[in-house]
């Protein structure tokens, strides 16, 4: 989506706030002993209170209001009976439609204290997003993003999952451009002012590919591999860093 006016930006911003509120409520309750189904109900209740619809359910009939992935699960984890334990790395990904506008965010974090490698991985993927976002403006290329993300991953000794990508959005959950944030000199597409898009790299300890589990949704890396994601929804601007619609306090 290309934002055309202030009314559209206001609508997107409201969707971003709804998504952020649901995520924050879920993260606050993510503690040892809670099930992923209970967390999902918390997020669903926040979205409903704000009049928002779960985007995975709306557009893909996903069996949950949110995606909750644990440890080797990289993405699209189905909320269920799994109970969180101290030392689990959890990814909560919330996306929603509000009055026809869609926002999307995700974050990996630890339940309890994480090990050095877990915490370093989480910090690295967050730093990659913010570093790349600083250069995301009208006229820059998608590969500028990929180059920056790759530099951070390489500098920390982590791999980037190459079959999970970032995407445009705004009216639906997945729109153009679809891209993988890795250094690819052949990627010449350029950003346009008003473009609504995510940046969501997945960093791992060696894995470059995720596989789909038998449930038809959950995407995993090999057992024993660490994987972390970080995602915001951005609006590209002229001459300045993008607006972050899903930032805390937005």
In 133-247 the beta strands, taken as DSSP E runs, fall at: 159-160, 166-168, 175-179, 196-199, 202-204, 211-212, 219-220, 227-235, 243-244
Distance CA 174, CA 26 (A): 23
Q: Are 189 and 141 in contact (CB under 8 A)?
A: yes
Over residues 117-132, the pLDDT tens digits come to 999 999 999 999 999 9
Over residues 175-205, the pLDDT tens digits come to 999 999 999 999 999 999 999 999 999 999 9
Sheet (strand 219-220) strand order: 73-75, 219-220, 211-212
Q: Which two tokens stand for residue 54?
A: 């779960």
170 band by pLDDT with thresholds 50, 70 and 90: very high
DSSP string computed for 85-115: -TT-EEEEEEEEEETTEEEEEEEEEESSPPP
- Tell whether the model's pLDDT for residue 211 goes beyond 80: yes
95 band by pLDDT with thresholds 50, 70 and 90: very high
> For the chain, what is the mean pLDDT?
97
Pick the CATH number of 6-244 from 3.90.650.10, 3.30.1360.20, 3.40.50.970, 3.90.230.10: 3.90.230.10
Q: Residue with structure tokens 């970080």? A: 230
Full-model pTM: 0.97
- Tell whether the model's pLDDT for residue 30 goes beyond 80: yes
- CA 65 to mean position of chain CA atoms: 15
108 band by pLDDT with thresholds 50, 70 and 90: very high
- Tell whether the model's pLDDT for residue 165 goes beyond 80: yes
Q: How would you classify the pairing of strands 166-168 and 89-98?
A: unpaired
């Amino acid at each position: 989506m290309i934002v055309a006016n202030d009314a559209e930006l206001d609508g997107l911003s409201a969707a971003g706030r709804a998504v952020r509120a649901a995520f924050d409520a879920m993260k606050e309750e993510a503690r040892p002993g809670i099930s992923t189904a209970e967390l999902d109900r918390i997020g669903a209740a926040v979205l409903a209170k704000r009049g928002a619809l779960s985007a995975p359910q709306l557009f893909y009939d996903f069996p949950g209001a949110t995606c909750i992935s644990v440890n080797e699960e990289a993405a699209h984890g189905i909320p269920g009976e799994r109970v969180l334990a101290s030392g689990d790395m959890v990814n909560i990904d919330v996306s929603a439609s509000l009055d026809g506008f869609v926002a999307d965010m995700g974050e990996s974090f630890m339940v309890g204290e994480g090990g050095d490698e877990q915490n370093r991985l989480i910090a690295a993927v967050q730093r990659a997003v913010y570093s790349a976002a600083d250069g995301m403006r009208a006229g820059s290329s998608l590969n500028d993003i990929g180059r920056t993300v790759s530099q951070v991953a390489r500098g920390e000794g982590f791999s980037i999952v190459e079959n999970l990508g970032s995407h445009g959005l705004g009216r639906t959950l997945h729109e153009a451009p679809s891209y993988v944030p890795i250094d690819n000199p052949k990627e010449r597409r350029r950003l346009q002012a008003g473009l609504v898009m995510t940046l969501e790299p997945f960093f791992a300890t060696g894995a470059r590919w995720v596989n789909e589990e038998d449930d038809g949704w959950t995407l995993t890396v090999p057992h024993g591999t660490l994987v972390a994601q970080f995602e915001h929804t951005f609006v590209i601007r002229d001459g300045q860093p993008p607006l972050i619609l899903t930032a805390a306090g937005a």
